[in-house]
Amino acid sequence: MNTDQHGYKSILLRHETILFVVLAVEWIFFDAVGHNFGTYDNTCDILRHSCEIGLLALAMTPVILTGGIDLSVGSLLGLCAILFGKFWRDAGMPLPLAAACTIGVGALAGGLNASLIAWLRLPPLIVTLGTFSLFRGLAEAITHGVDTFTDFPASFLFLGQERWLGIPAQALVFIAAVIFFWLLVHRTTFGRSFRAIGFSPEGARYAGIPVGRRMAMVYVLAGIVSAIAAIIYTARLGQAKADAGTGYELFAITAVVLGGTSIFGGVGSVHGTLLGVAAIAVLHSGIAHALLPGEMAGMLTGVLLILALAGSTLPKMISGLRARKSTPRLAKQIP
């Protein structure tokens, strides 16, 4: 754990700046090359399509900051989507109530992850691998694999398909989430403790930080956000199916790491994640508008990710070599 912290701030700054430059380059390039790319309509479109993944990436950021990971958010999105449909259609709930119940389910699911990871101290990768399977399975089992929920009222579909005040309606939810998470991570003591836990769970504990509670918090939040994303997804597509959100978790993780958050925890930012989401979304849209094969977007994303990783490791390696001369303490105990 030899991250150069002055380094940590300046790398972050550098990382995000570079990412911002990449984003700008993408924009300019595709605007020039693509048809109808740089238009307001298209920008709204990009925004509309990246809301759900953006939400998941936002929720994923504090999880990864604490040194954990959550592979189950995509599956949970699917489960919440069909439960939302079921609450509304089969249980006859009014939509707002169905939404509230869905969010409750999301919180409970997040709570399942939280209790296994934060209290039983089990490895997050495997726990969320298990719940990844479990949630998707429940979604499929409840709908018998075939049931879909459609015919939502127009007032609801407005959320996913129309604009309000000139921007896509769901973007308002997204912006609210951005503000919430940015403040949480960067301006509250919670965010500070997430980083401490990511850098050193033991060190955080000795400083009196309630490590178990904080870790539980990030997973429950992820669950709640997955539920919200599920509702927006349903509104956007006009239907809820069990396969909703397939593959979203990997997208979210990619955006977070691209944005400069270290998979080991401690280092990272919400604005970096935002830039990561934007870079990927713009890339996909731009490639489509440039009439290039869509798969190229995926490939370039992979390449970008590796470059981003390598880029943030190199300075660390260099400063690590420089900091090799450590002052050993007069040992009280023989090692």
DSSP three-state, residue 163: strand
Q: CB of residue 70 vs other proteins: minimum separation in angstroms?
A: 13
- Nearer to other proteins by C-beta: 160 or 191? 191
Q: CB of residue 210 vs other proteins: minimum separation in angstroms?
A: 5
- Nearer to other proteins by C-beta: 154 or 334? 334
Q: CB of residue 238 vs other proteins: minimum separation in angstroms?
A: 23
Q: CB of residue 64 vs other proteins: minimum separation in angstroms?
A: 10
- Nearer to other proteins by C-beta: 158 or 190? 190
Long-range contacts of the stretch 87-94 (C-beta < 8 A, 24+): 88/149, 88/152, 89/149
Q: How far apart are CA 159 and CA 163, in angstroms?
A: 8
Q: How far apart are CA 242 and CA 260, in angstroms?
A: 32
Q: How far apart are CA 244 and CA 248, in angstroms?
A: 9
- Nearer to other proteins by C-beta: 171 or 278? 278
Q: CB of residue 127 vs other proteins: minimum separation in angstroms?
A: 6
- Nearer to other proteins by C-beta: 44 or 296? 296
Closest CA to 269 of 277, 260, 281, 278: 260
Q: How far apart are CA 75 and CA 12, in angstroms?
A: 31
> DSSP characters for 104-150?
HHHHHHHHHHHIIIIIS---HHHHHHHHHHHHHHHHHHHTTTT--B-
Single-letter residue type at 131: T
- Nearer to other proteins by C-beta: 153 or 294? 294
Q: CB of residue 82 vs other proteins: minimum separation in angstroms?
A: 12
Q: How far apart are CA 136 and CA 204, in angstroms?
A: 35
- Nearer to other proteins by C-beta: 120 or 165? 120
Sequence-separated (6 or more) residues with CB below 8 Å from residue 271? 16, 182, 259
Copy the structure tokens of residue 150: 């459609």
